[in-house]
């Protein structure tokens, strides 16, 4: 497996081709970052506008490496017990109930409280062993034997305290559980963190990561993405629809269409059997690209002119 | 190679990109992995390791291109004059040889080496340019060249006048090239060091003495300050989110465990979002300062969700919506002119302003509100209405007054500051960004 991955990350072009095979078209920048992250064994912090395929990148990496994807969705209030581990309280309680009788046997023949306590002490770690530990995503990722792809999604939504806690995991790939000691990664996971930039991440976190900014793709790359993700769309239509979306991104919209919406739109157009991108077709399907009434109204006003530009 | 990358890091730091040593190590490792064959790939790799935000990426790209642009000696029209019949003499110094042969690559290399020797990355002030030019020229062996010129002009061989002429022109050319090179390096390394000095200087300057051209820079400084203020503020708030034990919920949830209290449940505590009302004087007497007060207000408005802003002169008007509706320059212009806002820019009347406030907005002040008043308290001998400020003080969590005048002037002439003072939780002089920063620091500490 290790050797296999060495081969998979042999060269930047290799990475790029490999990701294309699993359905993710990446720019040289992205491929370079993936290549470096593998060799430097560093997490990647991915930033960029919504819908450019940040999460998709991690999924593609998992598919390419043939490793399980472990995802941790961040939100305000996320803490260790949800992200790392939790004791199975119910099970602990149940077991103490079941083992009540055994306890009596165990304590038989002891004299005095101190003696009894000393005997119980011999077994005190039983209820705080891995058997009663419910691992959460971070711990799961560390325990995965073959290594995993860990995706910490929308890390900017988590609290600064959680971010600080994440640092230990990211720099040393180990976590401390007070009752058990430090748990090291069996094999280093490949880590992605994504952020929508709702708040600036701390310097310390950034320092530990490679930073990848994914902008909206240019027309050539986006055509390629549509080709891979929505096969069957005729080449002519593909060029037209990508051209139209690229124009939309230049406008002053509340929410510009993302790559995933381009792909959706391409699929819809294919189902509708559209051959050319006329104003009528666009008007009927515009709600797939634009999600605000004001945006739709604004674009409808200049639809004819925009459509003409791409059809030509 | 390491030296080159370290120089790049120095240049980047100068341009305002924060790079830690560990990131430099990453960059070195990344560079050795991808190699130096492909410029684009190298740039991508270094960018991933060094620049950690979108703006930093832009700075990086710009810096990278300037840093790795070919040095001199290849700019159009910069061909060293070739003296065809001035045959290179065996006794000439290497530099004269290169000049006579027109060996541009050699000259360029020699210049680079000399520049590294002279530690060009350390250039900080424009006054150092000449020093560096001299150092580099000397490093390239200009002394040898001078000796050659001197010696050849003394000898009266037939070819020497031509050679001497060629060497003299070559020397001029060399000087120009080195000067251009130093200029470029200066732009790369020093521009930003200057910027840091400039920032420090502006912080302590009186707000009323600032000039138009500094506004832009000031806006950035203030923005940065407000942001750090807000970051610290919100961080502190979130720490104490868990409230008291919720007994009812705990008992209910733990019924499953035979009533043993196993998993305690906590009451959620409401997050205490900062809530502010800012009253800003825009009268003539504080005109120069009010622009920065408004700037500060604008930046606050961008960062805090719950903030109401008012401006006053002869009367008071709410202007919160202006901040959301317009970009900074236009918003400030509108506020200062007061057109269409319902604010009358006549004689300053704190009394009227407070009466307006009491009538329309006093209800909105709760015990979580911080009231911030920016003004010089010069009331043109009108009724000060201290009672209303007292009311505000009673309702609000605290009242902070920032006065552009220094304390000895408070209460002199028509200043009513002394009378307002008892109703302020905090009153401070605020005439430079440095002062503003101190007040913000106080706000954060007090929570």
Over residues A24-50, the pLDDT tens digits come to 988 889 999 999 999 998 999 999 888
Q: Going along A197-260, which residue ranges are E strands?
A: 210-213
pLDDT for residue A71: 93
Do A27 and A121 belong to one domain? no
Which of B52, B230, B270 to probe by mutation at the A interface, max A CB count within 10 Å?
B52
Please check whether residue A311 lies inside any domain of the structure: no
B194 or B372, greater pLDDT? B372
Among chain B residues, the shortest Cα distance to A36 is held by B30
* A224 in the same domain as A202: no
Whether A25 and A17 have beta carbons less than 8 Å apart is answered as no
CB-nearest partner of B48 from A36, A160, A161: A36
Q: What pLDDT score was predicted for residue A44?
A: 94
Q: Which of B64, B67, B68, B26 is nearest to B48 (CA)?
A: B26
Contact A211 B238 (CB under 8 A): no
A137 lies in a domain? Answer: no
At B293, list the tokens. Answer: 């007060």
Q: How far apart are CA A203 and CA A272, in angstroms?
A: 49
Mutate to test the interface with B, among A11, A27, A36, A159 (most CBs of B within 10 A): A36
Angle (CA) B414 B419 B420, round 5°: 105
| Domain-located, residue A189 | yes
Pair A64, A151 in one domain = yes
User: Is there a domain that residue A49 lies in?
Assistant: yes
On the question of pLDDT at B240 being above 60, the answer is no
Residues 6+ apart with CB under 8 A from A37: A43, A44, A190, A210
Chain B residues with CB-CB distance to A36 below 8 A: 30, 33-34, 45, 48-49
Degrees, nearest 5: CA angle A13-A185-A137: 85
For residues A159 and A240, membership in a common domain is answered with no
Q: Is A301 on the interface with B (CB under 8 A)?
A: no
What is the DSSP secondary structure assignment for residue A194, as one 8-state letter? E
CA distance B270 to chain A (A): 13
Q: Which of A222-226, B139-143, B318-322 has the highest mean pLDDT?
A: A222-226
pLDDT (average), residues B367-387: 85
Considering the domain architecture, whether residues A125 and A255 belong to the same structural domain is answered as no
A54 and A154, same domain (yes or no): yes
| Whether residue A160 sits in one domain with residue A44 | yes
**Confidence at residue B280, expressed as pLDDT on a 0 to 100 scale:** 86
Q: What is the pLDDT of residue A262?
A: 93
Whether residue A297 lies inside any domain: the answer is: yes
Q: Give me the number of domains chain A comprises.
A: 3
- Nearest Cα residue to A195 out of A207, A210, A213: A213
- Residue B274 to residues A169, B233, B238, B371, B390, Cα–Cα distance (Å): 33, 8, 12, 11, 22
State the residue range of the domain holding A189: 2-79+143-213
Mark whether A257 and A293 lie in a shared domain: yes
Q: Same domain, yes or no, for A69 and A127? A: no
Using the predicted structure, report yes or no on whether residue A312 has a pLDDT greater than 80: no
Do residue A211 and residue B48 have CB atoms under 8 angstroms apart?
yes
DSSP string for B354-397:
HHHHHHHTGGG--TTEEEEEES--B-TT----HHHHHHHHHHSS
Name which residue leads in pLDDT, B329 or A282: A282
Crossing angle for the helix pair B104-117 and B129-139, nearest 10 degrees?
A: 120
* CB contacts, 8 Å: A214 with chain B: none
Provide the 3-class DSSP secondary structure of residue B275.
strand
Spell out the residues 6+ positions from residue A35 whose beta carbon is closer than 8 angstroms to its own.
A9, A11, A12, A15, B33, B34
Which of A172, A182, A166, A173 lies closest to A144, judged by CA? A173
Task: Select the more confidently predicted residue: B13 or B29.
Answer: B29
Is residue A47 domain-resident? yes
Burial of A163 (0-12, 13-18, 19+ CB in 10 A): buried
Q: Contact at 8 Å (CB) between B40 and A28?
A: yes
Chain B residues bordering chain A (beta-carbon distance below 8 Å): 18, 20, 22-23, 26, 29-30, 33-34, 40-41, 44-45, 47-49, 51-54, 57, 227, 231, 235, 238-239, 241, 256-257, 260, 262-263
pLDDT tens sequence across A220-276:
999 999 999 888 888 888 998 999 999 888 888 888 899 999 999 999 998 988 888
Q: Residue A212: which of B34, B48, B235 has the nearest Cβ?
A: B48
Indicate the average pLDDT of chain B.
Answer: 78
Is residue A312 in some structural domain?
A: no
User: Would the pLDDT of A145 be above 70?
Assistant: yes
Q: Is A227 found in the same domain as A294?
A: yes
At A151, the pLDDT band (50, 70, 90 cuts) reads very high
Residue closest to A57 by CA, chosen among A28, A30, A21: A30
- Output the pLDDT for position B47: 92
How do residues A46-78 score in pLDDT, each as one tens digit?
998 888 889 999 999 999 999 999 999 998 888
Question: Is the pLDDT assigned to residue A185 strictly greater than 50?
Answer: yes
- Higher-pLDDT residue of B371 and B153 is B371
pLDDT of B202 reads: 65
Q: Does residue A138 belong to any structural domain of this protein?
A: no
Lowest mean pLDDT among A16-30, A74-88, B14-28, B241-255: B241-255
Q: Tell me whether A207 touches chain B (CB under 8 Å).
A: yes
CA B150: distance to chain centroid?
A: 52
In this prediction, the answer to ipTM > 0.85 reads: no
Choose from B109-113, B296-300, B331-335 the range with maximum mean pLDDT: B109-113
Q: Which residues are CB-contacts of B404 (< 8 A; sequence separation ≥ 6)?
A: B207, B208, B286, B289, B376, B429, B430, B431
User: Which of A6, A40, A93 best probes binding to B when mutated, by most B CB atoms within 10 angstroms?
Assistant: A40
Cβ contact (<8 Å) for B57 and A39? Answer: no
Q: Across the interface, do A93 and B260 touch by the CB < 8 Å criterion?
A: yes
The count of CB pairs under 8 A between chains A and B is: 73
- Tell me, yes or no, whether A10 and A108 share the same domain: no
Instruction: List A71's β-bridge partners, or say none.
Output: A151
Residues A269 and A151 in one domain: no
């Amino acid at each position: 497996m290790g050797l296999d991955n060495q081969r998979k990350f042999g060269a930047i072009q290799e990475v790029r081709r490999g990701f294309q095979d699993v359905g993710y078209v990446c720019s040289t920048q992205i491929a370079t970052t993936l290549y470096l992250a593998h060799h430097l064994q560093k997490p990647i912090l991915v930033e960029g506008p919504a819908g450019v395929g940040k999460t998709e990148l991690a999924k593609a990496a998992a598919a390419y490496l043939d490793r399980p994807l472990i995802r941790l969705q961040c939100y305000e209030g996320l803490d260790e017990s949800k992200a790392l581990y939790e004791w199975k309280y119910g099970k602990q309680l149940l077991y103490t109930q079941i083992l009540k009788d055994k306890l009596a046997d165990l304590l038989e023949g002891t004299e005095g409280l101190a003696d009894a306590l000393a005997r119980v002490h011999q077994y005190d770690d039983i209820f705080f062993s891995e058997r009663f530990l419910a691992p959460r995503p971070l711990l799961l990722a560390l325990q995965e034997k073959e290594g995993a792809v860990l995706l910490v999604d929308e890390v900017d939504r988590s609290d600064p305290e959680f971010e600080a806690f994440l640092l230990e995991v990211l720099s040393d790939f180990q976590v401390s559980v007070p009752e058990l000691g430090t748990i090291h990664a069996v094999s280093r996971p490949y880590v992605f963190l994504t952020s929508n930039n709702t708040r600036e991440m701390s310097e310390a976190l950034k320092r530990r990561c490679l930073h990848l900014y994914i902008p909206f793709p240019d027309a050539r790359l986006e055509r390629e993405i549509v080709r891979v993700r929505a096969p069957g769309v005729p080449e002519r239509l593909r060029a037209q629809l990508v051209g139209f979306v690229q124009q939309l991104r230049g406008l002053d919209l509340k929410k510009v269409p993302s790559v995933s919406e381009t792909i959706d739109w391409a699929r819809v157009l294919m189902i509708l059997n559209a051959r050319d991108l006329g104003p009528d077709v666009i008007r009927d399907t515009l709600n797939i690209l634009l999600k605000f009434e004001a945006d739709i109204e604004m674009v409808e006003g200049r639809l004819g002119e925009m459509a003409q530009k791409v059809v030509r | 190679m390491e030296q080159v990358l370290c120089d790049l890091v120095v240049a980047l730091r100068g341009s305002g990109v924060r790079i830690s040593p560990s990131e430099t190590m990453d960059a070195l490792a990344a560079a050795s992995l991808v190699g130096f064959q492909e410029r684009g790939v190298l740039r991508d790799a270094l960018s991933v390791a060094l620049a950690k935000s979108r703006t930093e990426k832009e700075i990086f790209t710009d810096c990278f291109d300037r840093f790795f642009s070919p040095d001199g000696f290849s700019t159009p029209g910069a061909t060293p004059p070739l003296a065809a019949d001035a045959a290179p003499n065996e006794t000439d110094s290497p530099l004269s040889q290169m000049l006579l042969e027109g060996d541009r690559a050699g000259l360029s290399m020699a210049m680079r080496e000399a520049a590294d020797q002279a530690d060009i990355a350390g250039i900080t002030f424009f006054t150092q340019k000449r020093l560096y030019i001299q150092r580099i020229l000397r490093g390239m062996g200009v002394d040898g060249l001078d000796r050659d010129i001197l010696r050849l002009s003394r000898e009266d061989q037939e070819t020497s006048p031509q050679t001497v002429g060629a060497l003299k022109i070559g020397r001029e050319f060399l000087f120009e090239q080195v000067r251009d090179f130093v200029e470029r390096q200066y732009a790369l390394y020093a521009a930003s060091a200057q910027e840091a000095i400039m920032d420090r200087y502006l912080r302590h300057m009186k707000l009323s003495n600032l000039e138009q051209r500094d506004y832009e820079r000031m806006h950035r400084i203030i923005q940065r300050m407000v942001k750090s203020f807000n970051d610290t503020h919100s961080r502190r708030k979130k720490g104490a989110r868990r409230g008291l034990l919720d007994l009812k919920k705990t008992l209910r949830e733990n019924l499953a465990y035979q009533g043993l209290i196993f998993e305690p449940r906590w009451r959620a505590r409401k997050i205490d979002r900062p809530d502010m009302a800012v009253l800003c004087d825009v009268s003539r007497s504080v005109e120069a300062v009010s622009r920065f007060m408004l700037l500060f207000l604008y930046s606050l408005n961008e960062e805090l969700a719950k903030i109401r802003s008012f401006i006053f002169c002869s009367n008071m008007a709410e202007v919160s919506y202006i901040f959301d509706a317009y970009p900074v320059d236009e918003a400030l212009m509108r506020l200062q002119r007061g057109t269409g806002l319902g604010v009358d820019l006549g004689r300053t009347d704190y009394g009227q302003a407070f009466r307006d406030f009491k009538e329309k907005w006093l209800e909105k002040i709760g015990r979580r509100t911080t009231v911030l008043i920016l003004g010089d308290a010069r009331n043109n001998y009108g009724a000060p209405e201290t009672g209303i400020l007292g009311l505000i003080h009673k309702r609000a969590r605290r009242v902070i007054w920032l006065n552009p005048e220094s304390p000895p002037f408070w209460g002199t002439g028509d200043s009513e500051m002394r009378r307002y003072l008892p109703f302020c939780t905090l009153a401070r002089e605020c005439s430079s960004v440095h002062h503003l920063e101190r007040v913000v620091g106080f706000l954060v500490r007090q929570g």
